[in-house]
Amino acid sequence: MTTILVVDDQPITLRVLGLTLRNEGYDIVTAEDGLEALSRLDETPVDLVLLDIAMPRLDGITLLRTLRASERHAALPVIMLTANGQDSVRKAALAAGADGFLTKPTSSRELIETVGRFVYACT
């Protein structure tokens, strides 16, 4: 079964994303910030990361750069998720190594389709 790490500092967003993806048959691991995400990645192998950008302690862009610099996680697909849909934010995320980008709020359909593309590509 495919496991997805969902990282967002808003508990309601974690619940909604988690429920939506669980309903599609994915196993979900959650973290409320980048530091917690690093701990989760040490504990649990995941197939994809859905990562918010603006978070306390360790933001999504910094976490993404850390993952890309890590031999263990460099190839892990990462989809950035943010409420800031400005083109400069999208470009920064892609330059840091993001594989995909979604703007919040995103529809369940768009989320499922985007995640599905990356999961399918990895299998």
Q: What is the pLDDT of residues 19-58, one digit of tens each?
A: 999 999 999 999 999 999 999 999 999 999 999 999 999 9
What ranges do the domains of the chain cover?
3-122
The values of phi and psi at residue 100, to 5°, are -150, 170
Return mean pLDDT, the chain.
94
- The topology under which CATH files domain 3-122 is Rossmann fold (3.40.50)
Model confidence band, residue 86 (pLDDT cutoffs 50, 70, 90): confident
Report the b/e string of 38-59 with b at 16+ CB within 10 A: bebbeeeebbbbbbbbebeebb
pLDDT tens across 99-117, in order? 999 999 999 999 999 999 9
Give the closest residue to 98 by CA, choosing from 59, 49, 57, 56: 49
